[in-house]
Chain A
């Protein structure tokens, strides 16, 4: 599990993704190529939509073991259904929706087994602090890392709805609102206003910490 491990070099590896929303026509073309046997197209789908599926898993706060199984199940099923997906252009929404349903099943199974109202037992990113100081040399990078760490912590204090929405929105490349809607079961039209409210609340918390 690499959550909590801060690799300073990764900053430079992350492409600037604003405006790089996964293009639906492109996704449709990749799905069709993969159906025809193009392994490179499949790889591009995994690279382009894997982070979305992972974000959905994370948004539902599954344990690592459950989250890994859901991720695998979603991709196994996607491969299985590949040639039968009715709207290849919407493969992102298909994956997001499948991930959501599998997550809800896990949570339902947990509830039944443990009788707990709160199956969200793990919250590793905010508690499992690895000594990033040892990994980061420059002061500037350390400052940035500190801000990232605080952002991550403040995210947890936002309330479940906001945390879930932002965790899905921050997939890379940015998911379309159709994908977000499928991932969380909320109407496309409510995503914009909710996003705005959540981001502003997060910014206010950061400001209050004097970390802005």
Chain B
């Protein structure tokens, strides 16, 4: 149970509960979850993949770096980590640049939803370049050796 059941039940508390319920109905009518989003959330189930390792976000320049005065369009720098594998990514207006460390040949795809995966070019040292900046949520899927690593979903 939660704290909502511990409220004193005087007339005021009753009126509070009634008003809250009225607000709930108002929200359900005036501002419900948009259908398209609900649908996307349903489809997101396809992203559930127990075989892939998750590379967790360990650095995000948006929150972890000191803002540089005057540099408003500084690229977004991201670092993901899965065990000993690190993925550094730089998102710019022109696309994204990344590096898998330690340097290994890998196949890399940019995911932008449950149904969209776009391969990017990777060199022998694990450096990759995508010429389209991700719009909206994205993740990178790496295949290296027999392993699949997916970076945490993030909004670009």
Q: A: which residues have CB within 8 A of B?
A: 1-7, 10-11, 14, 16-18, 21, 34-35, 39, 42-43, 46, 50-51, 53-55, 58, 68-73, 75-84, 102, 105-106, 108-109, 112-113, 115, 125, 148-149, 151-152, 155, 166-167, 169-172, 174, 176-178, 188-189, 191-192, 195-196, 199-200, 202-203
Contacts and interface: CB of A to CB of B under 8 A. Distances in A.
Interface in B47-102: 47-50, 54, 60, 62-63, 67, 72-73
B150 A80 contact: yes
Interface of B: 2-4, 6-7, 12-13, 15-17, 19-34, 37-38, 40-42, 44-50, 54, 60, 62-63, 67, 72-73, 113-114, 136-137, 139, 150, 152-155
Contacts of B73: 113
Given A6-B30, A51-B32, A79 B45 contact: yes
- Would you call the interface of chain A mostly helix, strand, loop, or mixed? helix
A203 B15 contact: yes
A172 B19 contact: no
Q: Is the interface of B mostly helix, strand, loop or mixed?
A: helix
B111 to A, nearest CB: 9
A70 B155 contact: yes
11 contacts: A5-B30, A42-B48, A43-B42, A54-B33, A68-B34, A73-B154, A76-B139, A105-B155, A148-B22, A178-B2, A203-B15
Given A51-B33, A76-B137, A21 B155 contact: no
Contacts of B136: 69, 72-73
A166 B27 CA distance: 10
A169 to B, nearest CB: 6
Contacts of B45: 34, 39, 42, 79
Contacts of A115: 72
Contacts of B62: 105, 108-109, 112
Contacts of A50: 33, 37-38, 41
